[in-house]
A and B are shown apart, each in its own frame.
Chain A
Amino acid sequence: MEILMAFVIGILFMCATYLMLSKSLLRIIVGTGLLSHGAHLLILTMGSLKRGAVPLLGENASSYTDPIPQALILTAIVISFGVTAFFLVLAYRAYQELGTDNMDKMRGNKGND
């Protein structure tokens, strides 16, 4: 499973990179979204998958999956959400002020027209 996941993560990173290299600001933000999905899955995969029960002691299982990567991912999800939200509003404001979402046209004051 880990090997399959490594390829899935690779594809996510690949698509994210391609989107981030595009001109449209919205696509770039979509790319960052994909990138954080890839990173979260990578953390989980590296902590080994499906070794035991859900990390709740009530399960009374003999082994549990590793709780540490899960805690790390939870933190990462929240932080990336905060950043994405900020970035989106920034993009929204940029549309309003500059009237474009083309990155090539956002070059100082001269390039606006």
Chain B
Amino acid sequence: MSLLHLAIISPFLLGILVPIMYKLLRRIHAGWFVLPLPIFLFIYFLSYIPITSNQQTVIKSIAWIPTLGIDFTVKVDGLGLLFALLITGIGSLVVLYSIYYLSKDKEQLNTFYVYLLLFMGAMLGVVLSDNLIVLYTFWELTSFSSFLLIGYWYDREKSRYGAQKSMLITVFGGLSMLGGIILLYLMTGTFSISEIIQQSNGILTNPLFIPAMLCILLGAFTKSAQFPFHIWLPDAMEAPTPVSAYLHSATMVKAGLYLVARMSPIFAENGLWVWLVAGFGIVTLFWGSFSAVKQTDLKGILAFSTVSQLGMIMSLLGIGGAALHFDSINDSYFSVATVAAVFHLINHATFKGSLFMVAGIVDHETGTRDIRKLGGLMHFMPITFTIAIIGTFSMAGLPPFNGFLSKEMFFTAMVRVLEIGFFNLETWGVLFPVIAWVASIFTFVYSMILVFKTFTGKFQPEKLAKKPHEAPIGMLISPIILACLVIIIGFFPNLLSNTIIAPAVAAIMPNFKVDVHISFWHGFTTELFMTLGVIVLGVLLYKTFPKWRKVYKLFPEKFSLNRLYNSILDVSQRASRTITNRYLTGFSRTYLLYLFAFFIIILSTTLFVKDAFIIKTNNVSSIHISEAILALVISIGAISIIFAKSRLTSIILLGAVGYTVSIFFVLFRAPDLALTQLAIETISVALFLLCFYHLPKLKKREERMRFRITNAVISVGVGAIVTMIALSAHSNKLFDSIAQYYVDNTYEKAAGKNMVNVILVDFRGFDTMFEITVLAIAALGIFGMIKLRLEGGKKNENQ
């Protein structure tokens, strides 16, 4: 095991220790035990930067299930490292923030940090695994730990609803991803991502290629909250705010983006991939930003904003994939989109993390997150206000913050879509920059709402639960650090370009030489005018927001996706209950009907499909008149049982059938059978009469069986099938009996003359032994039923 493996596993190990330390040292906030680990891991991962910036990768492997080709292989390249740094870096800040956010006395901190560490380890595993099965394992662990964290306040109805929803949607996607992984394995014979990438040219025309792509994309889209699977994210806001900041803005929701980026070298040579990823991304971008404007909850706005920004990164990754599709065109033409995606990934993690923390502070200090109750907090919380300004302006894409840079690059990439020449993108492609531009206007509007409705305007103390004041300094450290990063990256973007962004882009697009240089000033280009347009229109729309608010009423709640999700759940539950109640009636007759009907259908279909029904008469023995009469007697006997009015008659008729059977045994030369049958039939009839005698008096009213047409059809069918199978089987005898051996050896080897008896006790004595066992068990069972009832039954009656 290498240090890298240890780094991934260390959060799990610490997770075991946290509850112990929590119980031993109750006076110290449990977060302090956790905090050193992500900091240490962050520093450890920083040490890989020199390696990856030289385009080197580190691969370490230990065997897990070698016979299935599943090894715990860890690979650090630019992309993995970028995510690992995000996870550990923001993880440290979130842990620090949570120490001040969560109360030591009121909350169950041990479970919180165990879940958080579980998540951190799982996420590191996702981004650093090179083996797809290991990746999937960690992927499901992130879903699972996210479920636990969303339902952290499990006594709240909404938390449980949100947790269940996110679990159902992400696990649905996860399972589909597993299907995609297996399809990839079928095509390439390996689970290793690097090896699959090497084979990617060979599988382009494989018929499994497109299904594999769709399955993997479904997994990525559900995890990254792409339209229409974004609905779990707003409900996941019931989690504690540090969790929302960490999982639902900076890390877990980017696992889908990671997957798309990681898989791009495999799939992006197919145009469908580019089209799907970019298309879903741009729709999500628009829908997220459009929906964010109408939210009144701070975290609700941030959730939809996250959805929208994830869509933006997704669409950039899709367009970046076009570079892989056109090998011949100038390399850096479409790859600017990939650079923008990676850059915005980092930027989004910084500003969105800080904004969630700001929302948490506002909630913590005022007792509400509703923007209709908030306002005028600027004077009470100047530091928080400053952070919020930086975060939202960066989110809106204003200079001089980092969001401006990535938005410019985003526009550049979108304008270049016009030149992608497949799937009619040269005509439909014009929608991309237009939608992107409109979505950016909405982004601007909700950003302004977020900051100005909260911090400026009229202060409404009567609506607030607490008297607002500035947050404690410990709570402010993390958002301050993030806000500083926003500014630093904004002013010095090239600090990151060669160290982190270039290696990550190189990992997404292995065969390209991409020159990453992010400049502030492009000159008077289309992008600049687009940004100016966004600002002008955005300000206008923000000022007139109360007037056009009504637009949102055009989309009634009835048609919302949540409504659809709820009704799907509801309908499937109700349908399964109805169906189950319909066929599980509780009457044994119904179940017997199913069994017999199935018996008839299966056997008759087989008989006729296989053309197996034949009658041959060359193999049959002659009919003597006495036998024909017996056959008539037994048939009449059996049929008249059905029509017997009294039960006594039916028992006597059954006896008659039994005795006829024994006469058949006599005629067919089976003396032992005839003897046994006679004896046993006598005892059985006696037993039947015993039962009959003990019938309750009230129920002794004798009645004929009621005729039911279904019963009649089914029983005629069963009889007919048995007859047909008996006839066909007899006509199809393929080889002779092995009886000759017994005839020859009964006396020679077993010293007996009665062949049947010798078979029973000598050749096949085991059958007889267990038949004796059956009788013994039946006898004991009967004894038990009669004897044991007295005590138990009386006790029950006394109660």
Q: Which residues of A contact B (CB under 8 A)?
A: 1-24, 26-27, 29-30, 33-34, 37-38, 40-42, 44-58, 64-68, 70-71, 73-75, 77-79, 81-86, 88-93, 95-97, 99-104, 107-108
* Residue in contact with B785 in the complex, picked from A2, A83, A89, A107, CB distance below 8 Å: A89
Interface stretch, picked from B4-12, B234-242, B274-282, B615-623, is: B615-623
Flag if B722 contacts A19 (CB, 8 Å). no
Given the complex, which residues of A lie within 8 Å of B729, measured CB to CB?
A: 46
| Alpha-carbon separation in the docked complex, A11 to B640 (Å) | 11
| Alpha-carbon separation in the docked complex, A57 to B748 (Å) | 11
| Alpha-carbon separation in the docked complex, A79 to B781 (Å) | 14
| Alpha-carbon separation in the docked complex, A41 to B627 (Å) | 14
Flag if B661 contacts A22 (CB, 8 Å). no
Majority SS at the chain B contact face: helix
| Alpha-carbon separation in the docked complex, A13 to B716 (Å) | 9
Q: Is B673 an interface residue (CB 8 A)?
A: yes
Q: In the complex, what's the smallest C-beta–C-beta distance from B694 to chain A, in angstroms? A: 6
Q: Is B628 an interface residue (CB 8 A)?
A: yes
> Which B481-516 residues have a C-beta within 8 angstroms of A?
none
Majority SS at the chain A contact face: helix
Q: In the complex, what's the smallest C-beta–C-beta distance from A70 to chain B, in angstroms? A: 5
Given the complex, which residues of B lie within 8 Å of A24, measured CB to CB?
A: 647, 705
Given the complex, which residues of B lie within 8 Å of A91, measured CB to CB?
A: 691
- Given A57-B755, A68-B739: A29 touches B688 (CB 8 Å cut-off): yes
Given the complex, which residues of A lie within 8 Å of B755, measured CB to CB?
A: 55-57, 64, 67
Given the complex, which residues of B lie within 8 Å of A8, measured CB to CB?
A: 631, 634-635
| Alpha-carbon separation in the docked complex, A38 to B721 (Å) | 13
The 8 A CB mask of B35-69 against A (1 = contact, 0 = none) is 00000000000000000000000000000000000
Besides A55-B743, A68-B737, 14 other A-B contacts (C-beta < 8 A): A8-B635, A15-B639, A15-B641, A15-B719, A17-B596, A22-B711, A55-B754, A56-B755, A68-B759, A77-B677, A82-B777, A85-B687, A88-B690, A102-B699
| Alpha-carbon separation in the docked complex, A88 to B750 (Å) | 39
- Given A1-B623, A14-B716, A21-B715: A7 touches B647 (CB 8 Å cut-off): no
Flag if B759 contacts A53 (CB, 8 Å). no
Given the complex, which residues of B lie within 8 Å of A88, measured CB to CB?
A: 684, 687-688, 690-691
Flag if A85 contacts B654 (CB, 8 Å). no
The 8 A CB mask of B717-743 against A (1 = contact, 0 = none) is 011101100110110000001110011
| Alpha-carbon separation in the docked complex, A67 to B753 (Å) | 12
Q: Which residue of A lies closest to B632 (CB)?
A: A8
A-B contact pairs, 24 of them (CB 8 A): A4-B623, A5-B631, A12-B719, A21-B711, A22-B589, A26-B691, A30-B688, A34-B638, A47-B737, A50-B668, A55-B754, A57-B747, A66-B737, A71-B764, A78-B680, A79-B771, A81-B683, A82-B774, A85-B683, A88-B687, A88-B690, A95-B695, A99-B696, A101-B695
Q: Is B588 an interface residue (CB 8 A)?
A: yes
* Residue in contact with B718 in the complex, picked from A14, A37, A48, CB distance below 8 Å: A14
Given the complex, which residues of B lie within 8 Å of A9, measured CB to CB?
A: 722-723, 726
